[in-house]
Amino acid sequence: MGLFSFLQQEIAIDLGTANTLIIMNDKVVVDEPSIVAKDIQTGNIVAIGKKAQQMHGKTHKLIETVRPLQDGVIADFQSAEAMIRGMIKMINPGKTLFTPTLRMVVCIPSGITEVEKRAVRDSCEHAGAKEVYMIHEPMAAAIGIGIDVEEPMGNMIIDIGGGTSEIAVIALGGIVCDKSIRVAGDDFTQEIEEYMRRQHNILIGERTAEQLKIEVGAAITELDNPPPDFAVRGRDLMTGIPKEIIVSYVEVAHALDKTISKIEEAILSALEMTPPELSADIYKTGIYLAGGGSMLRGLDKRISTKTKLPVHIAEDPLRAVARGTAIALKNIDRFQFLMKD
């Protein structure tokens, strides 16, 4: 870092469907939900992140809340750009004399198309980035967990985010085989909403379903230390009057069963594609889980039962990808081959 280091800002962004994290100088400086609220008449952005999330599902007709990313990729270009710009502003809210040039490393799903990749790059450039590097999410997760990705050793990483589940086998600094499916945390939330409607005739919002998933979400019906039952409030579909019901983790496990099965199938399919030498390594090292979805109670046990392999959850699963992206940014020369420039 020379004399003009203050003129260059280096940031690592984990641009997620559910949350966006920005790391600068090894510190998480922004950790906000990926959501914006905008004024319908003028198109101006009213709120970003947590403030916009509080409005979600509660807006009147002049304000709408938008989630710019769907299934891990940018669905609404303008909102995404405004969100990235707003979140970069959050890093140093005070006006500075100089606007530092930005160098960004952004992580992208491994199943992303060229067009989707272009959208991410354009959004970052419009938000002020001079240099944009990209890294695949499973690779970033592996680096963030602390795996030496350059070793001739096979490691299997599963990153269950909000919009996509990324399953990859990594060896010698590259992704040997990967499977990216658009089934993840958001689908868990949707399944819970539908289950409540079918089983209990109660209509609940996305935020309530998300809260229910966090409080009593489970992947198996027998947990060693089960969470206490959770009171859910919503609208009774028969009478239209607000009502409250008590839900246990066993019900949520039943509701999520089908969706989790899809992830299990994808894991088995990725294991089938793995070269035999790497399969031998995976038998020894096991499977690593990262991403917010991996925090679902009992998911590691369920995957372990299905694959008969040891399953390890990353230390801080929500931030593993962002950490890995930050490490790649610091060692950009060493990890040059990971980046898509």
Closest CA to 288 of 267, 272, 312: 312
Tell me which of 204, 236, 255 is where a domain ends.
255
Same domain, 51 and 196: no
Sheet of 129-136: strand order equals: 27-33, 19-24, 8-15, 101-108, 129-136
pLDDT at residue 9 is higher than 90? no
Same domain, 37 and 97: yes
Share of the chain above pLDDT 90, in %: 69
Same domain, 171 and 228: no
DSSP assigned state of 75? S
DSSP assigned state of 227? P
Same domain, 241 and 292: no
pLDDT at residue 6 is higher than 60? no
Q: Which domain holds residue 245?
A: 185-255
Same domain, 40 and 104: yes
What's the CA gap between 154 and 139, in Å, rounded?
12
pLDDT recorded at residue 102: 84
pTM for this structure? 0.90
Same domain, 179 and 326: no
pLDDT at residue 178 is higher than 60? yes
Name which of 152-156, 262-266, 335-339 the model is least confident about: 335-339
Q: At what angle do helices 185-200 and 249-273 cross, to 10 degrees?
A: 140
Name which of 94-98, 205-209, 306-310 the model is least confident about: 94-98
Same domain, 228 and 152: no
Residue 14 belongs to a domain with what CATH number?
Answer: 3.30.420.40
- 52-61 — which CB contacts under 8 Å span 24+ positions? 53/207, 56/206, 56/207, 57/205, 57/206, 57/207
Same domain, 128 and 159: no
pLDDT recorded at residue 2: 47
The arithmetic mean of pLDDT across residues 14-38, rounded, is: 92
Residue 230 belongs to a domain with what CATH number?
Answer: 3.90.640.10
Same domain, 234 and 294: no
pLDDT at residue 4 is higher than 70? no
pLDDT recorded at residue 131: 87
The arithmetic mean of pLDDT across residues 184-207, rounded, is: 95
Tell me which of 217, 232, 255 is where a domain ends.
255
Do the beta carbons of residue 170 and residue 332 sit within 8 Å?
no
Counting the structural domains of the chain, the total is: 3
Looking up tokens 């699963």 gives: 317
Same domain, 73 and 208: no
Same domain, 84 and 164: no
Same domain, 205 and 154: no
β-strands 311-313, 287-290 pairing: parallel
The arithmetic mean of pLDDT across residues 301-326, rounded, is: 94
Tell me which of 219, 234, 255 is where a domain ends.
255
Which tokens hold the place of 219?
A: 């992947």
pLDDT recorded at residue 189: 96
What's the CA gap between 66 and 145, in Å, rounded?
31
